Structure 1
Amino acid sequence: MPNTVLSRAMSGTVEPSLLPLPDRVAALLSELGSPPRLAAHLRAVHHVAHQLVDWVEHRYPAVIFDREAVLFGAATHDIGKTVHLAELSEPGSAHEEAGQVLLLGHGISPELARFAATHASWVDARVGLDDLLVSLADKIWKNKRVPDLEDLVVARLAQATGRAAWEEFLALDGVLARIGDAADERLAFQASFPIHSGGTEAA
C-alpha cells in the first residue's frame, strides 16, 4: 500500500502552495522509504530553488548555468539522510558523502549526484554557480542569511555582468528578502510531517 503521508509531502496539495518534487526524485524517495519530513524539506528547498533560477534567468539572461541541474540538486541535496536518519533532527555531515554515493548507486550521473556532497561546501574553489544556488536555496527556504555564501554568489554575478558588486548585492538581497518572507509557512509545512516513515494516515 502506498505511503500517503510521503506522497502528500512530495506532491500533494498543501499550504503554502509548493511545486511538487520531480517524478524522478519522488520515485527514488519512495523506493528508499524516505521519511516524510525529509521529503517535505526537499520539496520546500526545490520550490525555493525554482524561484532563484527564475530570477537569475530573468535578471541575468547572459549568465550560463544549468537550470535543471540546480533544481535536481535542490530536490536531492539531503537524500543521504535516508541513510543517516539522526541527521534529520540534529547536526551532522555524514549524509553529504552518503547522499552522493547513494545517488551514484541509483544511476544518477556524477554531475547531478555531486550536489548531495557540495551543498554545504560552498567555500571550495571548485564549486560553481550551480552549486552555490543549491546551497543558497537550502538556506533561504527558512530565511537563514549566510553572508559568506551570498558574497560568493554576488561575486559570480558581478563577474558575469561587469556590474558593480554592490549593485548585484542589492538585487540579490531584494529577492532573498522576498523569498524569506514566506519562510514561516514553509517551516510549518515541513514540521507537519513525521520524521519516521511508515503508515498511511495523514500526518
Structure 2
Amino acid sequence: MTPRPLPNQATALLETLPAPPRLVAHLRLVHDVACDLAEWLFPVLPFDREAALFGAATHDIGKILHPAELSGPGSEHERAGYELLLEQGVDEDYARFARTHASWHSPEIRLEDLVVSLADKIWKAKRVPDLEQLVVDRIAAVGGREKWQVFMELDDLLDRLAATADRRLAYQAAHPV
C-alpha cells in the first residue's frame, strides 16, 4: 500500500522540523483517507478541500514536540502543534486542525474539521457514532438532503474504508517511532 503524497507545504514542514518516520506515515495515511472523504463530499456540497487535506496532513504535527504521544495517549500535541504551525508561518485557518482534530463538539468546528477528525478515526477502522452523526447532520443541513440518505451513503463509504484498515496499520507499523 502506498498512500497518496502529502501536499508540498506539509512535506516541507515535516522535513524541516524533522518529523519521525512513524509520524509521517500516520499523516500520509490520514491524508489519504481524507482524500477519499473529500472526493465523496465534493459533488455533494462545497467545502475547502485544500484546507481539509492540509489539516489531515499536519493534524498531529505537535507530536514532534511530544514524542511519547506517538505510541501512547495524550493531548499535549494538539495545542503544541497549532502553535508550531503558526511559528512556521502557516495561516491560522490551516493551523487550526492541529487543535481541532480531537474536539469536534466545539461550536467553531467546520465541516473541514469534521473531515479531518473522521479521517483520523476511520483510517484504522474506528467508528465514532457521535462524530459520524455530526458529519451527517452538517451535510444534510448544508446540502438540503435527508439525514437518512446521507447516513446510508456515508456508512457505505466508511465501511469500505474500514475494510482496508489492516493494510494501513501494517504500513504505519513498518515505520520506526
Instruction: Give the TM-score taking structure 1 as reference length.
Output: 0.85
SS at match of 1:21: coil
SS at match of 1:107: coil
Alignment of 1:85-104 (within 5 A): 85-104=67-86
1:32 to 17, 32, 37: 17
% same residue: 58
Number of the residue aligned with 1:12: none
1:105 and 2:92 are equivalent in the alignment: no
Number of the residue aligned with 1:81: 63
Runs of 4+ in 1 over 6 A off after TM superposition: none
1:23 to 8, 23, 45: 8
Larger Rg over CA atoms: 1
Deviation at 1:23, TM superposition (A): 1.9
Q: Aligned partners of 1:162 and 1:21: how far apart in 2?
A: 32
1:153 to 135, 148, 156: 135
1:189 and 2:143 are equivalent in the alignment: no
Q: Aligned partners of 2:64 and 2:7: how far apart in 1?
A: 18
Q: Aligned partners of 1:167 and 1:179: how far apart in 2?
A: 19
Instruction: Give the TM-score taking structure 2 as reference length.
Output: 0.98
Number of the residue aligned with 2:122: 140
Deviation at 1:17, TM superposition (A): 2.5
Q: Aligned partners of 1:148 and 1:117: how far apart in 2?
A: 19
Deviation at 1:174, TM superposition (A): 0.5
SS at match of 2:42: helix
Number of the residue aligned with 1:200: none
Deviation at 1:165, TM superposition (A): 1.0
Deviation at 1:21, TM superposition (A): 1.4
1:72 and 2:57 are equivalent in the alignment: no
Deviation at 1:162, TM superposition (A): 2.2
Number of the residue aligned with 1:166: 148
Unmatched segments (≥5 aa) in structure 1? 1-15, 196-203
Amino acid aligned to 1:104: L
Q: Aligned partners of 1:79 and 1:102: how far apart in 2?
A: 8
Amino acid aligned to 2:127: R
* Structure of higher RCO (CA pairs closer than 8 Å, 6+ residues apart): 1
Unmatched segments (≥5 aa) in structure 2? none
Q: Aligned partners of 1:113 and 1:24: how far apart in 2?
A: 12
Q: Aligned partners of 1:52 and 1:43: how far apart in 2?
A: 14
Q: Deviations over 1:84-109 (max 9, x none)?
A: 00000111000000000000000000
